[in-house]
Structure 1
Amino acid sequence: MQLIDIGANLTHDSFDRDRDAVLARARAAGVARMVVTGASREHSPKALALARAHPGVLYSTAGVHPHHAAEYTDECDAELRALHAHPEVVAVGECGLDYFRDFSPRPAQRRAFERQLQIAADTGKPLFLHQRDAHADFVAIMRGFEGRIGPAVVHCFTGGRAELFECLDRDWYIGITGWLCDERRGAHLRELVPNIPAHRLMVETDAPYLLPRTLRPMPKDRRNEPAFLPHIVAELARDRGEAPAAIAAVTTAAAETFFRLPRAAAS
C-alpha cells in the first residue's frame, strides 16, 4: 500500500527527539507521503520548513486553528499569505470553529475563520477544516463563501449522521482518524463510514494525537505517529466491507486530487 496521511502534526515537540526515525517508520509501513499540519503562527512556518526539507514526501498546510484564533491579527494574516506563496503549502488551515473547548472567544474564532476562507478564495487552495460542537455556525460561515472557494475537507470528522450528510451534500471531503477506533467516543462512526463516497474519503493520523485504542501492541509513550495509519485503514476497510488495499487506493487517489499532488507511480 502507498498511503497518504493527510494530517500529521509533525512539528509537535514530541517528535523533536526522533523525527527522522518517525519518517523512516512511516515509509516502511507504506505511508509514502504526509501532509504536515500548520495550525498556528508558530507552527505553520515550521510545517513549511519540514516540507521543504523532505521534497516529494512531506507537504504542509498553513493556518490558525480556532484554539489560537485570538492570535489572528493583520500581521498574522500577512504571514500566512506569505507562506501560501510556496508550492509546498498545499492547503489553507487548519482553520474552523471549536466550541467544545473555547480556548479562544467565539467571535474571535469566527473572524479568524472568515479571514482564512478569504485566503482560500484569493489563492485557490483547498481548505483543511476543523469543526467541533459548532456545526451550525461552521456551515453558515462556509455558505457565505460559496462560489468563491474550492474543495474542502472536514479533517478528523467526529460528528453524527446529520452532520455527515450535510457535509457530503456540500461536496466536502471527509478525513477519518483513529477516532474510529475509540469505543467510547467513535463507535457511531463505524456505522457512518460506509456512506462516504470513495472519491470523498481520506485518512489521517492527526499524530501525535488520537492514538488508535485498538492498536496492539500499544507504544509505551502513547504517542501516535504516521506509521500507524495502516491500522486505521484496516479498521476502516472492515467497517466498509472492503479490502484494505482498496481503501488505500481510493484514499490515495482522493488525496492526490484534493491537494493536487503528483500521481503515485504504479507499482
Structure 2
Amino acid sequence: MASFCDAGVNLFSNQFDADRAEVIERAKQHAVQQLLLISSDLPESALNLAFCQNHSGVFCTAGVHPHQAAGVPSDWVQQLRPLLNEPAVVAVGECGLDFNRDFSPRNTQLQVFEQQLQLASELQKPVYLHERDAFADQLALLRAYPGITGVAHCFTGNKAQLTAYLDLGLLIGITGWLCDERRNQELTEAIQYLPLDRILLETDAPYLLPRTLAAKPKNRRNEPAFISEIASYLAALKQLSLAQVAEQTSLNFSRVFRLMEHRDGL
C-alpha cells in the first residue's frame, strides 16, 4: 500500500481545537506516515515542537511568517536559535515575503526574512518558504545566500517562477490548489516541467481542501487524511502511478529535511 508524507500541516489552527488527536489518527489510517507542522511565529513554533516531542513521525518548522514580521520581540532571533537546534525542528520558517496582504510593512518583512536566511545558512537548515506577489524580491534575497536548500511551500506560480526555484536547488510544495480547475491553469502547465524528485506533497490543512475530493466534509476543512487526493491528481497529470508518486515524494521529504535515519511513522 502506498504511504505518504504531508509536508505542510497547520495543526494548531483553531479549526483543529476540537479533534486534533482524531486528525492525527485519521491521517495514520489513510497511510500518512510522516507530517511536517508549519510554524508562523515563535509561540506556534514552541507548540509544534512540544507536540513533535510527544509523537513519532511528526516534525516541524520554526520561524516567523511575513504576516507576523511586524510583531516580533526585539530578541526574536535569540529566541528562535535554540528552537532551530532541536532535532524535531527540521526547517526555518514559514518565512518569506507577502506583498499581497501587506500585514507587515515590506521593509520589515525583508529584514525578518533575511535574518532567517542568515540563520538557515549558519545552522545548515533548509528553509520553508512563503511568497505572494513578491517573487522578484524573494528570488533576489535567496540568490544572495547560495547553498540554501528547502521548499517553496504551496507553489502556485508559472513555469518561469518554477524554473527559477529549481535552479536554486529548491523543492516545490504542491497542494490542493492543483485540484482547483478555477485557478490551476498556470500551475498545471508548470507541473509538466517539474521533475518528480523535486516535489513535496502538502495539504496545507486546514486550508485548500481539494475540489476534486468526492466525499467532501461538511465543514469544508482540509486535513492530512486527504493527501492522496493531491497525489492522485498529480499522478494523472504526469502519467505516473500513484505508487510512484507516493514513494518518490516520501523519499524527497526525507532527503530535504535530512530524515533518512528517522524511519518511525505516525
TM-score if structure 1 supplies the norm length?
0.95
8 Å Cα contact 2:173-2:202 kept in structure 1: yes
- Equivalent residue number for residue 186 of structure 1: 184
Note the C-alpha offset of 1:74. Answer: 3.4
- 2:51 is aligned with 1:53: no
1:92-111 paired onto structure 2 within 5 Å:
92-111=92-111
Per the TM alignment, residue 188 of structure 1 is displaced from its structure 2 partner at its CA by 2.4
Relative to structure 2, which stretch is displaced further, 180-189 or 237-246?
180-189
1:227 alignment partner, one of 212, 225, 228: 225
Task: State, as a whole percentage, how many aligned pairs show the same letter.
Answer: 46
**2:159·2:193 contact (CA, 8 Å) conserved in 1?**
no
Looking at structure 2, the residues matched to 192 and 28 of structure 1 have their Cα atoms a distance apart, in angstroms, of 32
* Correspondences of 1:1-267 after superposition (within 5 Å): 1-55=2-56, 57-147=57-147, 149=148, 151-261=149-259, 262=261, 264=263
- The question of whether the paired residues in 2 share the 8 Å contact of 1:191 and 1:239 is answered with no
Pairs aligned (count): 262
The 3-state SS of whatever aligns with 2:64 is: coil
Residue deviations 1:23-58 (CA, integer Å, cap 9, x gap):
011011111110001111221111111111102x11
- Please say if residues 6 and 224 of structure 2, whose CA atoms lie closer than 8 Å, have aligned partners that are also in contact: yes
User: Matches of 1:214 and 1:190 in 2, distance apart?
Assistant: 15
Q: Which runs of 5+ in 1 are unaligned?
A: none
- Match of 1:240, as an amino acid? K
Equivalents in 2 of 1:30, 1:137: separation in Å?
38
Q: What's the TM-score once normalised by structure 2's chain length?
A: 0.95
* 1:213-243 deviation per Cα after TM superposition (whole angstroms, max 9, x unaligned): 1112111111110000000000010111111
The AA in structure 1 aligned to 2:27 is A
The CA deviation at 1:85 is 1.8
Shift of 1:101: 1.0
- One-letter amino acid of the counterpart of residue 69, structure 1: A
Q: C-alpha distance in 2, partners of 1:10/1:154?
A: 19
Gap regions ≥5 residues in structure 2:
none
For the aligned residue pairs, the C-alpha RMSD in angstroms reads 1.3
One-letter identity of the residue aligned with 2:95 = C
Amino acid at match of 2:216: M
Per mean C-alpha deviation after superposition, the further-off stretch among 61-70 and 78-87 is 78-87
